[in-house]
Amino acid sequence: MNEINRPVVRPRRLRTTPAMRELVAETTLRPGQLVLPLFVGEGLSEPRAISSMPGVVQHSRDTLRKAVVEAAEAGVRGVMLFGIPTTKDAVGTGATDPDGILNVAIRDVVEEVGDAVVVMADLCLDEFTDHGHCGVLTPDGRVDNDATLAAYAEMALSQAAAGVDMVGPSGMMDGQVAVVRAALDAAGHTDTGILAYGAKYASAFFGPFREAVDSSLQGDRRTYQQDPRNGREGVREALLDVEQGADIVMVKPALAYLDVLRHVADALQDSGVPVAAYNVSGEYAMVEAAAANGWIDREPAILETLTAIRGAGADVILTYWAVEAARLVR
Tens-place pLDDT, residues 164-183 = 999 999 999 999 999 999 99
Q: Tell me the residue type at 98.
A: P
Domain assignment of residue 144, given as a range: 29-329
Note whether residue 283 is domain-resident: yes
Note whether residue 9 is domain-resident: no
User: Which pTM was predicted?
Assistant: 0.95
Q: What is the pLDDT of residue 5?
A: 82
Note whether residue 16 is domain-resident: no
Q: Which of 107, 50, 37 is nearest to 79 (CA)?
A: 37
Tens-place pLDDT, residues 3-26 = 678 888 999 999 999 999 999 999
Q: 245 to each of 185, 189, 282, 325, how far by Cα in Å?
A: 11, 14, 30, 31
Instruction: Please check the confidence at residue 298 and state whether its pLDDT lies above 70.
Output: yes
Summary count for the chain: helices (H), strands (E): 11, 10
Report the SS3 class of residue 170.
coil
Note whether residue 12 is domain-resident: no
Note whether residue 193 is domain-resident: yes
Q: Which helix (H) or strand (E) holds 300?
A: helix 298-311
Q: In sequence order, what DSSP letters do the residues of 59-72 get, joined into one string?
A: EPHHHHHHHHHHHH
Note whether residue 14 is domain-resident: no
Q: How far apart are CA 227 and CA 61, in angstroms?
A: 36
252 carries an active-site annotation? yes
Judge contact between 35 and 276, C-beta under 8 A. Answer: yes
Tens-place pLDDT, residues 61-119 = 999 999 999 999 999 999 999 999 999 999 999 999 999 999 999 999 999 999 999 99
Tens-place pLDDT, residues 302-328 = 999 999 999 999 999 999 999 999 999
Q: What is the pLDDT of residue 217?
A: 87
Q: How far apart are CA 213 and CA 46, in angstroms?
A: 16
Note whether residue 38 is domain-resident: yes
Note whether residue 295 is domain-resident: yes
CA 266 to centroid of chain Cα atoms: 20
CATH code (residue 115): 3.20.20.70
Which of 252, 254, 313, 322 is an active site residue?
252
Which of 200, 221, 263, 310 is an active site residue?
200
How many domains does the chain divide into? 1
Listed in order, strand segments (DSSP E) in 141-263 are 166-169, 193-200, 248-252
Q: Which of 127, 130, 170, 133 is nearest to 152 (CA)?
A: 170
